[in-house]
Amino acid sequence: MRQLLLDFTQAPEPTFENFVPGRSAEALAAARAAAAAGTHERVLYLWGGPGAGKTHLLRALAARREGARFVRGEDYRGDEAGAALVLDDVERLDDARQVALFNAFNERAFALIVVSAGAAPRDVSLRRDLATRLATGLAYRLQPLTDGEKREALAAHARSRGFALSEEVAAYLLTHARRDMPSLMRALDVLDRHSLETGRPITVPLLKAALQPELS
């Protein structure tokens, strides 16, 4: 059971394929195009609240685009260069790093700059000259999935693995497990394997047995 619990905490690597778009289909399409160098825009700006999937899309894009570099805002040094800079949480840039990014933009150190933020370019907590530069490309707001959309995505994933997901199990997952979609999908994968190994059906009691040590 300890290994099962560990599996619950190890979400799969973010990809475009395991991103559930919900109302953010346009953002997903733009990220795919940027990953394939299929856009002439210099900036892709993705924004939204916590849990909307910004980091997921940025990591998926960086893994797919040749020469891309994924960097967290607080880790950006300003001396990076390459085909694409993929910068997560741009608001975490301090003043010096904001100046460095502004200079990198003007010097065309990157063919593409992809950033994530918690607010739209006009409202983001950055220097106005930098925010203005970041507003010159494509900007998309990522909307978090509703519980209904999460249930639909979980049910479809369960069907692809050959079992039906009951409403009771889905509700328990959404109430007691980590609510981001990669973790929820991984939970179903682990439970399916455990069910096959033990001969027990995927039910709320099986979920409780797996999750209760973490909840306590």
Instruction: Count the residues in the chain.
Output: 216
Among candidate residues 141, 164, 194, the one where a domain is terminated:
141
25-38 residue pLDDT tens? 999 999 999 999 88
Q: What is the pTM of this model?
A: 0.79
pLDDT range class, residue 92, cuts 50, 70, 90: very high
Q: What's the mean pLDDT in 91-99? A: 96
Among candidate residues 84, 114, 141, the one where a domain is terminated:
141
Domain that includes residue 191, residue range? 2-10+145-215
| Judgement on whether residues 166 and 137 belong to the same structural domain of the protein | no
- Say how far apart CA 131 and CA 128 lie, in whole Å: 5
Q: What's the mean pLDDT in 65-89? A: 92
* Both structure tokens of 194: 């455990």
Distances (CA, A) of 116 to 19, 52, 56, 91, 171: 16, 11, 10, 9, 30
107-158 residue pLDDT tens? 999 999 999 999 999 999 999 999 999 999 999 999 988 999 899 888 888 8
* The pLDDT of residue 182: 75
| Judgement on whether residues 95 and 71 belong to the same structural domain of the protein | yes
